[in-house]
Amino acid sequence: MLDISEVSKRSGQAASKLRYYEEKGLIQSVGRHGLKRLFTKDVLERLALISLGRAAGFSLEEIREMFSKSSGLEINRKKLLQKADELDRKIQRMVSIRDGLRHTANCREPSHMDCPNFRRVLSAAGRGVIPPLEGISKNR
């Protein structure tokens, strides 16, 4: 059993964050000693996974979905694979954007918008990034 400061130390996460995560249902404490929360050490694994997800740009809510209405530590493997695929798509877009930045830095066209290369990259970057060439557009 670990108290919150122990978990904080071992996970590198602020205690306030751990309480916040518990409040949001991302982790659970298994009991109390007086007022003080007690955690089992598998919370550390859970926290590692959460950090992994956060680093990948997923919201806490999305991460919560990755864990089953779980019998303990069980992870929802299907959701996990879904997220991996999602991440794959993100990566594709980031590659395009990276190439777009490099291109923009090097291209000497007077206006980037006239460069087909640049326009292609914008379109790969995703929704709302591409101004239509001339005229009508979805506005919100």
Partner DNA sequence: CTGCCACCTCAAGTTAACTTTAAGTCAATA
Partner DNA sequence: TATTGACTTAAAGTTAACTTGAGGTGGCAG
Which residue ranges make up the site for DNA (CB under 7 A)?
3-6, 14-17, 19-20, 29, 33-37, 54, 59-61
Residue 91 tokens read as 């990566």
Of 53 and 100, the one with the shorter C-beta distance to DNA is 53
- Residue 137 touches which member of a second copy, DNA, none, C-beta under 5-8 Å by kind: a second copy
- Residue 35 touches which member of DNA, a second copy, none, C-beta under 5-8 Å by kind: DNA
Neighbours of 55 (CB within 10 A): 8
The identity of residue 130, as a single letter, is I
Q: Taking each helix axis from N to C terminus, what angle separates 4-11 and 15-23, rounded to the nearest 10 degrees?
A: 110
**Contact flags string 67-106 toward a second copy, x per CB under 8 A:** ------x-x-xx-xx-xx--xx-xx-xxx-xx-xxx-xxx
Q: Which residues pair with 65 in a beta bridge?
A: none
Instruction: Specify the residue for token string 């949001």.
Output: 24
Per-position DSSP letters for 6-36, written without gaps between them: HHHHHHT--HHHHHHHHHTTSS---EEETTE
Contacts to a second copy by CB under 8 A: 8-14, 42, 44-45, 47-49, 51-52, 55-57, 73, 75, 77-78, 80-81, 83-84, 87-88, 90-91, 93-95, 97-98, 100-102, 104-106, 111-113, 121-122, 125-126, 128-132, 135-140
